C-alpha cells in the first residue's frame, strides 16, 4: 500500500535522538530550548513555545489569546476537529465561516459577515499547506479588535507575500505529527508575537507554574518556591523529541523542494483530465505542499476512492466539515452552513504526498487514478 502520508527519518535523525537518550536530560532540558530557537528561523524570528502535540498547540494558542466562556471563535469547517475542540474546551462557541472555492481556506468575506459582539478570535487554517489570505484577515481582525490565530499544522515552511508563516498572525499553531512537514513523532509549537501572550502561552503549557521571584505573591520563601496563579496543563515536549525536531528542521528546505516536485508531477498527470480539478496555488504564496487534494466528480467520489484503496493506493479524504460531526449536530449545528466547503468535501480525495514518494510511485498512483475513473 502506498500511503497518502509518511514520515521521513534518516540516520542523522536517529543519531540526534540517541545522543539525548545517552545524555543527562530526557525532558525539561537544553534540547527543548535549542528546538525553540531553531524554529524561529522559520517563523520570521517570532518566539516559539514547543508543546506536546498540534492539539496542545491550539489549546495553548486559545488560552494565550484569552479565549473563554461566552466568547465566539470564527473558524473554517475544512480542518481537523481539534481546531474547534480546543476552543470549546475553554468555554467558547464556534462560528463557522465558509471557504474559498479554489483553496478551501477561510473566506475573508464570510469572516466579516460572521462577526458579532461576542467574537474574540478569527482562526485561519492553511489547508494543504497553502496560506490563507492573511492580509485581508489581518485587516478584519484589526478593525474589530480581534485576535488573529493561524492554524499552521500543514504549513511550516510556507510563505505569504514573502513573509514566513509564523509571522503573519498574532499566534500561530504548528503540528509535528509523523505525516506533517517535519516530525517530532508527536509534538507541536506556538509562535506568539506579543510578549504578554507569549508568557501566558509558556505558563499555560507548563501547568501554570511561575518560578520568577519577582512575580510571586508570597515573597522570600526560599529558592524552591514556585506558584500557580492560573491553571495550566502539562504540555511539555521532551528533549528526546525536541532533538528530532531540530534535526528535521535542517532538512525542511529539502522537504519543501521535494514536495513541490511531487505536486508538479501530480499536476502533469491530472491537469486536463475531464472531471478532475488539481490544487490551486495563488500567485502571492510559496506553499509547502502538505496534501495533494485532488477533486473528482462528487457522484463518483466514493467509487473512485474505494477503487484506489483496492488497487493499493492509500488515499484519504481531508476533511469532513467539522460541523457534520455528531458532537456539533448535538449542539444544534445544521448541515448546509458552509455550502462551498461542503461541495469541496464532496469531491476531495488526498493523493499520496510525502517526501520519500518516488517518481515511479507517482506514476503508479496516476495510472490507478485514471483507471479508477473509467466507467
Quick one: cell of 95?
Answer: 462560528
- From the number of C-beta atoms within 10 Å of its C-beta (0-12, 13-18, 19+), residue 30 rates as middle
The continuous run of DSSP H or E covering 267 comes out as helix 252-270
Nearest CA to 72 out of 123, 32, 28, 109 is that of: 123
Q: Are strands 313-314 and 2-3 parallel, antiparallel or unpaired?
A: parallel
Give the number of other Cβ atoms within 10 Å of residue 275's Cβ: 11
Residue 294 three-state SS? strand
Quick one: cell of 3?
Answer: 500511503
Rounded to an integer, what is the distance from CA 239 to the centroid of its chain? 22
Edge-to-edge strands, sheet with 48-51: 48-51, 188-192, 171-175, 147-151, 119-125, 72-75, 93-96
290-320: b or e for each residue (b if 16 or more CB lie within 10 Å)?
bbbbbbbeeeebeebbebbeebebbbbbbbe
Return the residue matching grid coordinates 509523523: 178
Cβ contacts of 225 within 8 Å, gap of 6 or more: 213, 216, 218
Radius of gyration of the chain (CA): 21
Annotated active-site residue 263? The verdict is no
What is the separation, in whole angstroms, between the first and last Cα of the chain? 24
Distances (CA, A) of 287 to 105, 142, 245, 291: 13, 25, 20, 11
Nearest CA to 341 out of 97, 155, 87 is that of: 97
One of 120, 180, 256, 263 is an active-site residue; which one?
Answer: 180
Would you please indicate which residues are annotated as catalytic (active-site) residues? 180
Amino acid at each position: 500500500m502506498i500511503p497518502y502520508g509518511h514520515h521521513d527519518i534518516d540516520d542523522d535523525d536517529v543519531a540526534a535522538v540517541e545522543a539525548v537518550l545517552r545524555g543527562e536530560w530526557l525532558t525539561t532540558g537544553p534540547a527543548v530550548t535549542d528546538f525553540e530557537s531553531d524554529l524561529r528561523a522559520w517563523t520570521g524570528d517570532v518566539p516559539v513555545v514547543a508543546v506536546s502535540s498540534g492539539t496542545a498547540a491550539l489549546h495553548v494558542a486559545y488560552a494565550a489569546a484569552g479565549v473563554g466562556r461566552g466568547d465566539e471563535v470564527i473558524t473554517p469547517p475544512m480542518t481537523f476537529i481539534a481546531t474547534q475542540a480546543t476552543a470549546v474546551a475553554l468555554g467558547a462557541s464556534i462560528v463557522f465561516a465558509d471557504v474559498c472555492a479554489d483553496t478551501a481556506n477561510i473566506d475573508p468575506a464570510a469572516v466579516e459577515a460572521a462577526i458579532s459582539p461576542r467574537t474574540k478570535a478569527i482562526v485561519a487554517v492553511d489547508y494543504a499547506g497553502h496560506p490563507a489570505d492573511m492580509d485581508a484577515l489581518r485587516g478584519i481582525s484589526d478593525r474589530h479588535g480581534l485576535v488573529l490565530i493561524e492554524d499552521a499544522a500543514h504549513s511550516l515552511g510556507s510563505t505569504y507575500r514573502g513573509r514566513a508563516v509564523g509571522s503573519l498572525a498574532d499566534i500561530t499553531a504548528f503540528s509535528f505529527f509523523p505525516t506533517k512537514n517535519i516530525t517530532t513523532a508527536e509534538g507541536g509549537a506556538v509562535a506568539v508575537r506579543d510578549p504578554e501572550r507569549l508568557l501566558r502561552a509558556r505558563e499555560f503549557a507548563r501547568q501554570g507554574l511561575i518560578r520568577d521571584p519577582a512575580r510571586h505573591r508570597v515573597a522570600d520563601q526560599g529558592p524552591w518556591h514556585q506558584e500557580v496563579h492560573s491553571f495550566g496543563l502539562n504540555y511539555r515536549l521532551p528533549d528526546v523529541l525536541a532533538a528530532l525536531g531540530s534535526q528535521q528542521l535542517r532538512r525542511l528546505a529539502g522537504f519543501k523542494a521535494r514536495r513541490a516536485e511531487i505536486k508538479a508531477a501530480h499536476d502533469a498527470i491530472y491537469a486536463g483530465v475531464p472531471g478532475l480539478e488539481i490544487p490551486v496555488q495563488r500567485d502571492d504564496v510559496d506553499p509547502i505542499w502538505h496534501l495533494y487534494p485532488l477533486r473528482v466528480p462528487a457522484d463518483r467520489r466514493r467509487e473512485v476512492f474505494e477503487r484506489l484503496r483496492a488497487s493499493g493506493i492509500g488515499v484519504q479524504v481531508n476533511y469532513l466539515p467539522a460541523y457534520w460531526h455528531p458532537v456539533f449536530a448535538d449542539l444544534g449545528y445544521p448541515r448546509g452552513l458552509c455550502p462551498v466547503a461542503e461541495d469541496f468535501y464532496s469531491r476531495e480525495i488526498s493523493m499520496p504526498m510525502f517526501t520519500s514518494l518516488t517518481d515511479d510511485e507517482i506514476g503508479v498512483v496516476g495510472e490507478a487514478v485514471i483507471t479508477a475513473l473509467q466507467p
